[in-house]
Amino acid sequence: MKICGLTREADVDAAVEAGADAIGFVLYPKSPRAVTVERAAELASRLPPFITPVLLFVNADAPEVMASLAQVKGAIAQFHGEETPEQCEEATGPGRFRYLRAARIPLGAAGAGFDLVKYASDYSHAQAILLDAHVEGYGGGGKAFDWSLLPPAVDAHLVLSGGLTPANVSDGIHSLRTRCKTLSVDVSSGVEIDGPGHKGLKDAGKIRAFVAAVRAADASFSS
């Protein structure tokens, strides 16, 4: 699982302590959770082995993406804009760096019209397809799309995102786990401190609760 949109050392440490597998840093300047690549590298230097830093880009130029990935050791890219398969490949130096491709799923009944099978095929070189809600701007805005409208079988590794919280992540996992090769989850706003002005500031208790809920859902599949 990935905890995304981190901006502080304390939050990186809390995510690591709770058992996160990946940590996300937003390199999209217009995001309220944005950090510079230098700051991302500084925060990522706190990560122990086997926890992956993920750099989120929105329509960034290939040289910028490549330079950022080279600066943050062990990082992979997450493309959240209108990047084509060819642009994703170019920006990661075909085969040099791994990447995730975000699929922006429409909210409500319109979600049934999104052809996730084709999308996953088009981006077959992506390590996984990240599922997020399509709202104004980029990122899910804390909104959850209708998971039940996704296809019953997708030949890809999926990452469920968009409006996840400690309270609903188990439902999301149970809804999608059997529909794809593997399923991971990604949370940002769902583990932030309550109240305005706190985007990018995480709540350690919510992180622990989210990780515990994911672990419990995973255990239910193996019991």
Is 140's pLDDT higher than 70? no
Q: Does residue 146 have an active-site annotation?
A: no
Instruction: Encode pLDDT of 119-134 as tens digits.
Output: 999 999 999 999 999 8
Reported in sequence order, the residue ranges of 5-163 that DSSP labels E, i.e. its strands, are 22-26, 52-57, 76-79, 99-106, 128-134, 158-160
Is 141's pLDDT higher than 80? no
Question: Looking at 11, 88, 132, 180, which residue is catalytic?
Answer: 132
| Banded pLDDT at 222 (limits 50, 70, 90) | confident
Domain CATH code at residue 9: 3.20.20.70
Q: How far apart are CA 105 and CA 131, in angstroms?
A: 7
Please give the pLDDT value at position 195.
Answer: 86
Instruction: Encode pLDDT of 146-157 as tens digits.
Output: 999 999 999 999
Instruction: Encode pLDDT of 187-199 as tens digits.
Output: 999 999 998 888 8
Q: Are 131 and 161 in contact (CB under 8 A)?
A: yes
Please give the pLDDT value at position 95.
Answer: 85
Q: List, in order, residues 6 or more apart from 13 with CB less than 8 Å away.
A: 46
Is 93's pLDDT higher than 80? yes
Other CB atoms within a 10 A radius of the CB of residue 121 amount to 13
Please give the pLDDT value at position 177.
Answer: 96
Strands 22-26 and 128-134: unpaired
Helix axes 204-222, 169-176, angle to 10 degrees: 30
Question: Looking at 4, 11, 88, 180, which residue is catalytic?
Answer: 4
Q: Does residue 132 have an active-site annotation?
A: yes
User: What type of residue is 2?
Assistant: K
As for how many domains the chain has, the answer is 1
Give the range of the structural domain holding residue 106, as residue numbers without chain letter.
2-222
- pLDDT, averaged across the chain: 95
Is 138's pLDDT higher than 90? no
Give burial (CB, 10 Å; 0-12/13-18/19+) of 79.
Answer: buried
- Supply the Cα-derived Rg of the chain in whole angstroms: 16
Give the pTM. Answer: 0.95
Is 139's pLDDT higher than 80? no
Please give the pLDDT value at position 170.
Answer: 97
Residue % of the chain over a pLDDT of 70 = 99
Tell me the average pLDDT across 108-121. 97
